Amino acid sequence: MKTDWFEYDGLRIRYTQRKGRGDSLPLLMFNGVGQSLEVLGPLVDVLPDKTVIAFDVPGAGLSDIPSRPWRYRQHAQLAIHLVRHLGYEQVNVFGVSWGGGLAQQFTRQYPLAVSKLILAASPPGNLMVPGSPGVYLRMANPRRFWDNDYMASVAGHIYGGDVRQDDSAVRQLISLLRPPSRKGYAFQTLAMYGWTGLHFLCRLAQPTLILQGSDDPMVPNINARLMAFLIPDSRLEFIDCGHLFMLTRLQQVSALILEFGYD
């Protein structure tokens, strides 16, 4: 993906805008914790007719690291400035994992800027039904971004699904990823500390597609069911895999997104 730079609050932010062939609203994409925008490349490639915007949040990829941790609301402020900088008044929003929390916050914070919302493998925040403590201990260790052997040893426990028997998706993730710094990763994880979307999901008016891996150790299925119950105009789709279904079930995911539609 071709990238460019945008300055916000004294920070250089790396972003990409891939122009589509249609006249539908762009899809603003929020990535997972520690993930650079290259990880979204495979999904972008199978949405060729759609305009897509993605960026490295501060501390991830090649974007600058802020002097202190940001909350989700600050990340949302950066995102709306980028959207306005690119000349758009309204977008469709996609968020995966950590980025799903940011997608929820962005939609709450700027409801008129969001037409439709897609949440993939997304928690509702700290007030979620958790998985095994061992899963989060392994996930919290940033060593998985730099030590391929360590990543291979913990991937099945963290991500579940196909990764339990086949680590090809993990190898693909490693090949795409620009590892975050330890400071940047810590700052990102702190953004969700104490945050929950449960108190406002019932007020989201946007049509919402919720995608959930049926074997996701990080985000147990009950959380997706709860979000689907709370968001008035929502649709829940289970995918027969784990947390990395964005890579392992790419064609199914793209088909569901395209079926959900764009305005």
Round to whole Å and give the CA distance between 186 and 5. 23
Q: Structure tokens of 129?
A: 């039904």
Round to whole Å and give the CA distance between 245 and 121. 8
The residue annotated as part of the active site, out of 36, 63, 97, 234, is 97
Q: Structure tokens of 222?
A: 């009950």
Q: What distances in angstroms separate CA 226 from CA 58, 199, 223, 248, one per listed residue?
A: 30, 12, 5, 25
Round to whole Å and give the CA distance between 199 and 184. 28
Looking only at the bridges linking them, the beta strands covering 11-18 and 52-55 are: antiparallel
Answer for the pair 101, 123: CB distance below 8 angstroms, yes or no.
yes
Round to whole Å and give the CA distance between 151 and 142. 10
Residue 67 catalytic?
Answer: no
Mind telling me the catalytic residues? 97
